[in-house]
Chain A
C-alpha cells in the first residue's frame, strides 16, 4: 500500500510539472525504471484515476461530475451543452488548446449538484447559463 501511495504522488508530480498537464510516456518509463515498477501496473494506475491523463491536455481542464447525484440533477444535459459551446466531445481539447473537457467521478459536492471543477476551482448549482458565464471569465484572461 505504501508503495502505491508513493506512486500516486510521483505521478502527480510528473503531471503537475508538465505544460500539457498529462503523463508523458517517456517520463513515466523513466520513473518506472528508476524504481523498478512494472509498466503495465503503472499504466493501470494512470488509467484508473480520472485525475491523470495519458494524453496531452489544454490550458484549463473542465471536469463535470457524472456520479449519481449529479446524474439525477441532469448533468447529462450540461455535458451536451458544454460539448456544443466548446465544439468538442468529452475527452477532447479545443483547437486553440485552451480547454479540455472531461468527466469525473464524485467531486464531493452532491449537495450543490450538478457540479464541476475547472482546474482546482469547484463550481456548483450549475445551469446552462451559469456555465456560459463561468467560461466567459476564463476567456477574458486568454
Chain B
C-alpha cells in the first residue's frame, strides 16, 4: 500500500484518501455505491465484467472502478447519463446470453445479476442471443452441480479456487464465444481433483454453481413407514440456519432447529456434537500415544493432523499423499455418528440396522462426497456376518447429507414457521454434548477441545482456564505453545498450529512435507474461518459474518455446563457399555479409517 494520501473529487465533493486505493475503495469509503459483479475484495480483481465503470475527467474512456488506482486531483463522476447507460448496456449484453428461468432457479433469491439488473432499471433484453444455451448440466460430482449456461464468466469461482483454496482445479478454457469455466480436458468437476469444498458455490453471483440437492431423497425416507430416520446436526448449522429465515447473522437457534427437525418427521433428532466429543476422545488418545512414543525415542508420525474436514482430506490425498501417515486415523464426527447410529444405537433400541436411515445436516458440501466413501461403511461390515447380509443389502453409515441451505429450503417447503418455533432439546442417547464439541464449528475449535481433554489427561489436574484464547480468532494460521506438566513434575510443551482455508493449509503442509514442521498437532479446516463459513452455509454479504457466527458458537460453549468432552456422561456411557476405552479394538473397527493416495497427475493421465 502506498501510504501517501491524495485529494480527489467524487461527484464534485473533495475527499482525502489513501493513494494506494482504487476508485471503488475510495467510493465505498465515502459511502457511494458502485455496482460490481466480478470483483471480490482480496480475491478477484480481474476487471472482467465492466459493470463498475465511472467517468474520470480527461480520461478517454470510462474507467473500471475496481481496478483503477486513484491519483492526486482525480475527478470522478459515478452517476452520469453515460455511466448509467454503459452499466445498463453491460447488463443487457450479459442477459442476451443468460437463460431466463429465474422463476425456477435455485439461486433466484440470492442472484446478484437479478438484483443488479433490477437496481439499474433494466427492463428489456434488446440484444440478440449469440450462444446456444444447451450445455448439459455437469452432474459428475456428488456435491456440486454446474450449469454453465447460466455462467456469466465473472471468474470469481476460478479465483477463489486459486487464491483462497490453492486447488486450481478450474480455469477459463477457450476464447471468445467459446470461453468457459473448465477443468483439465473439459472433464466433469466430479472427475477432476476438486475437493468439493463448495467455496466456489458461495461466490457465484448467479445460479451456475449449486450444491447437488438431496432434499427429494430425504423426503422419501421420511415418508417411508418402515424406516427409522435419525438426523444429526453439525455445530455450525445452529449459528447460521436462522439466516435462511431472515434472522440476524449470528443468531443462535439450537432449540428451534431441534424443534423444526422434529416437525419434519425425524424419528430421532440428534447432535453431531455427541460424536465430536467422541472424536476428541479418540483423537486426543491417538495424539498422546504418538507424542509419548516420539518423546520416548520411538518412531511415530508427528505432527498429528486432524481429519474432520473432508475437503481437506481430499486435498491432502491429491496434493500431499506422502503426508497421509500424519493424518489422524479418526473418522470425522459425521462418520463416527453414522457408524454409532447403526451399531450402538441400533442395538440399544433393538432396531434392525437396515431400517435405520442416518441423515446429516452439515455446513459443508464436501460431506456429500465423504458419506459415499466406501471405506467408511463400517456398520455394514459389522453386521454382515451376524445378520447374514448379502452384498445387495449394503448400506452406508450416513445415507444422505443436506447442507444448511437445503435444510432451510426443506423447512420452508414443509411449511415450518421457523422463527416462531419453541426451543426444544435433542433426543437421548446421541444428543448430549459439551461446549468442547460445539466449538468444532469455528477454526481452532477442534484444537481447543482436544487440549481441554489432553491437558487434564496429562496433568491429572483440572484446567485452570477453559478458554484457550491463543487458538481463537479468524486469522488464517494460528500457532501456540501449550505447557503440560505431568504429576511427576516433568514438562512437555505441546506445539500446535491451526490453519483454515486450503491455501493456508498448504503453508503448514509444505513444512510437514519437507520435514521441517516444528509442530506436534495441527488442526486444518478446508474453509476459511472453519465450518461456520463452510460451502453449505447460507450465502450472506455481511463482511463480518464469520466473526458473528463464531461469537454465537462461543456463546453456546459458555452457556453449557459441561465443557470438556471427557465429562460428557453419554460419552462415558458409550465407552462403558460399548467401546471399552478410546482406541480399543472395537473403536478402531468403527471409528477409525484410512486414506487413499490420489496424486493428481497420475489421476489425470487416465
Contact = CB atoms under 8 A, between A and B. Distances in A.
Given A25-B605, A33-B601, A41 B185 contact: no
Contacts of B172: 44
Nearest to A49: B175
Contact of A48 (B175, B184, B600): B175
B168 A47 contact: no
B185 A54 contact: yes
Given A25-B605, A26-B605, A29-B601, A40 B168 contact: yes
Contact of A40 (B169, B174, B175, B601): B169
Interface size class of B (residues with CB under 8 A): 10 to 19
B508 to A, nearest CB: 19
A1 to B, nearest CB: 16
Given A47-B174, A48-B174, A48-B175, A39 B184 contact: yes
Contact of A32 (B162, B173, B192, B601): B601
B183 interface: yes
Contacts of B183: 40, 43
A69 to B, nearest CB: 17
Given A25-B185, A54-B185, A44 B604 contact: no
A38 B175 CA distance: 19
Contacts of A43: 171, 173, 182-186
Given A25-B185, A54-B185, A40 B171 contact: yes
A30 B605 CA distance: 8
Contact of A39 (B162, B175, B600): B600
A85 B171 CA distance: 37
A43 B175 CA distance: 12
Interface centre among B172, B184, B601 (most CB of A within 10 A): B184
Interface in A50-69: 50, 54
B168 A38 contact: yes
B605 A40 contact: no
B170 interface: yes
A42 B175 contact: no
A46 B172 CA distance: 11
Contacts of A29: 601, 604-605
Contacts of A26: 605
Contacts of B601: 29-30, 32-33, 39
Nearest to A25: B185
Among all A-B residue pairs, the 8 with the closest Cβ atoms: A39-B184, A33-B601, A38-B168, A40-B171, A44-B171, A47-B173, A43-B184, A47-B174
A41 B605 contact: no
B35 to A, nearest CB: 28
A99 to B, nearest CB: 22
B604 A41 contact: no
A107 to B, nearest CB: 16
Given A25-B185, A54-B185, A39 B604 contact: yes
Interface string A10-30: 000000000000000110011
A25 B185 CA distance: 8
Interface of B: 162, 168-175, 182-186, 192, 600-601, 604-605
B311 to A, nearest CB: 17
A40 B170 CA distance: 5
A51 B597 CA distance: 36
8 contacts: A38-B171, A40-B168, A40-B171, A41-B171, A43-B173, A44-B171, A50-B175, A54-B185
Contacts of B173: 40, 43-44, 46-48
A21 B6 CA distance: 55
A54 B174 CA distance: 11
B175 A41 contact: no
A34 to B, nearest CB: 9
A26 B175 CA distance: 23
Contacts of A40: 168-171, 173, 182-184, 192
Nearest to A54: B185
A35 to B, nearest CB: 11
A26 B601 CA distance: 9
Nearest to B174: A47
Contacts of A30: 601
Contacts of A25: 185, 604-605
A46 B169 CA distance: 15
A42 B174 contact: no
A39 B600 CA distance: 9
A38 B165 CA distance: 13
Nearest to B161: A40
Nearest to B184: A39
Contacts of A33: 601
Contacts of A41: 168, 171
A50 B168 CA distance: 23
Contacts of A38: 162, 168, 171
B432 to A, nearest CB: 45
Nearest to B180: A47
A22 to B, nearest CB: 13
Contacts of B168: 38, 40-41
Interface centre among B171, B175, B192 (most CB of A within 10 A): B171
B290 to A, nearest CB: 31
Contacts of A50: 175
A64 B169 CA distance: 33
Nearest to A33: B601
A30 B602 CA distance: 9
Nearest to B170: A40
B605 A42 contact: no
Nearest to B183: A40
B465 to A, nearest CB: 45
Given A38-B168, A43-B182, A44-B171, 12 more contacts: A29-B605, A40-B170, A40-B171, A40-B192, A41-B168, A41-B171, A46-B173, A47-B173, A47-B174, A47-B182, A48-B174, A50-B175
Contacts of B186: 43
Interface in A79-95: none
B168 to A, nearest CB: 4
Contacts of B162: 38
